[in-house]
């Protein structure tokens, strides 16, 4: 994976979602709390798992897949599939909340907890954020505290089956307490940063953090 991989080209979806951000589409103005409300404001439940991407779904076999972990860490690493499988494996149950207003309850995941990855690479004291990069060139940012959440998982399986290509296999991130655009598909690189900086959608009008219960759909700028 090259450091100078270009960002995805502007598509009809990108233009549409930029327009949504400019118009504040779907905003209700309500704030709720996950302790008392399971469904965030402005969301509706679905039983399927809708597929959203930037127009391409990279075919990455397990044999070819690599995860580079770089930046402000004590132990930079590159993991292949067997390396990843050798890490502690965890099961998790959580909901999905997409910024396009759908939510899906009770998703069963299997993978590696981000906290176990952090124990392996040991972020330096000055690390405050991470930038995630996908095999299609997509990027998204997270505060380190969100990446290190107890239920954040580098996922390989969903509902007892290997994660499919359309949903980000072989490995994607899942951070249940944030909108799902923060849970990058086809994960190839994690970079630890001193300062938070915007990824693809964050540069296109979306919020830097993305808390569904606070309706952090779009940038305040």
CATH of the domain at 150: 3.90.420.10
Structure confidence at residue 220 as a pLDDT band (50, 70, 90): confident
Number of domains in the chain: 1
Which residue matches tokens 């103005």? 29
Q: Burial level of 159, CB count in 10 A (0-12/13-18/19+)?
A: exposed
Residues of the chain above pLDDT 70, percent: 83
Residue 94 lies in a domain: yes
Q: Is the pLDDT of residue 34 over 80?
A: no
Contact call for residues 184 and 197 (beta carbons, < 8 A): no
- Count of positions (residues) in the chain: 221
Domain that holds residue 162: 39-49+66-211
Q: Which residues contact 159 (CB under 8 A, 6 or more apart)?
A: 107, 108
Q: Is the pLDDT of residue 109 over 80?
A: yes
Residue 80 lies in a domain: yes
106 vs 7 pLDDT, higher one: 106
Residue 6 lies in a domain: no
Structure confidence at residue 1 as a pLDDT band (50, 70, 90): very low
Residue 34 lies in a domain: no
Residue 23 lies in a domain: no
**Residue in 75, 98, 77, 96 with CA at minimum distance from that of residue 86:** 77
**Residue in 106, 98, 104, 94 with CA at minimum distance from that of residue 26:** 98
Q: Burial level of 191, CB count in 10 A (0-12/13-18/19+)?
A: buried
Helix/strand number for the chain, H first, E second: 5, 11
Q: Quote the pLDDT of residue 221.
A: 65
Residue 60 lies in a domain: no
Residue 4 lies in a domain: no
The pTM of the full predicted model, rounded to 2 decimals, is 0.85
Measured CA to CA, the distance from residue 52 to residue 8 in angstroms comes to 14
């Amino acid at each position: 994976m090259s450091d100078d991989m270009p960002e995805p080209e502007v598509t009809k979806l990108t233009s549409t979602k930029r327009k949504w951000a400019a118009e504040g589409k779907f905003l209700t103005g309500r704030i709720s709390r996950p302790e008392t409300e399971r469904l965030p404001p402005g969301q509706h439940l679905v039983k399927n798992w809708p597929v959203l991407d930037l127009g391409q779904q990279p075919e990455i076999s397990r044999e070819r897949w690599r995860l580079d972990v770089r930046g402000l860490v004590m132990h930079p690493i590159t993991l292949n599939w067997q390396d990843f499988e050798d890490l502690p494996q965890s099961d998790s149950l959580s909901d999905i909340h997409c910024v396009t207003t759908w939510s899906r309850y009770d998703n069963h995941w299997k993978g590696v907890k981000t906290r176990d990855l952090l124990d392996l690479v040991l972020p330096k004291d000055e690390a405050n954020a991470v930038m995630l990069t996908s095999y299609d060139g997509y990027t998204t940012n997270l505060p380190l505290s969100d990446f290190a959440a107890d239920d954040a998982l580098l996922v390989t399986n969903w509902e007892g089956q290997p994660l499919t290509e359309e949903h980000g296999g072989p490995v994607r991130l899942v951070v249940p307490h944030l909108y799902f655009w923060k849970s990058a598909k086809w994960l190839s690189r994690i970079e630890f940063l001193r300062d938070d900086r915007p990824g693809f959608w964050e540069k296109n009008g979306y919020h830097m953090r993305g808390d569904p219960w606070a309706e952090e759909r779009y940038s305040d700028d």
